Amino acid sequence: MCDCMKNTAEKVRGHLEKRVPINAEVSTGLGDTGWQDEWLSLEDGKLHVMLIYKLAYRARKKDGSMAKNLTRLSTGVSMAYCPFCGEKFGGDHA
């Protein structure tokens, strides 16, 4: 499996760190820095990133009028191929 996600993350981090104030401290807490919606594959021990699809809808109330607030649903979709180089990911991640 390629290391494009790791290599790209390092480049993006370096680019963003240029905008961090000199006396600031970059958080290293789990989930604070790095790809959003990242998951660990127990099969190959590598980190993968999921695409999140969101859907929002306004339901009808019992009286037939529309609800005031939106209801939001989302689901993650893992990628079968690297989005950077096109190499197929190992295992059944799709």
Q: What is the mean pLDDT of the chain?
A: 87
- Token duo for residue 88: 């197929």
Give 45-75 pLDDT, tens digit per residue. 777 888 899 999 999 999 999 999 999 999 9
pTM for this predicted structure: 0.67
Please state, for a pLDDT cut of 70, what percent of the chain lies above it: 94
- Token duo for residue 31: 């989930």
Say how far apart CA 83 and CA 89 lie, in whole Å: 10
Contact 66, 60 (CB under 8 A): yes
Q: Residue 47: exposed, middle, or buried by beta-carbon count in 10 A (0-12, 13-18, 19+)?
A: middle
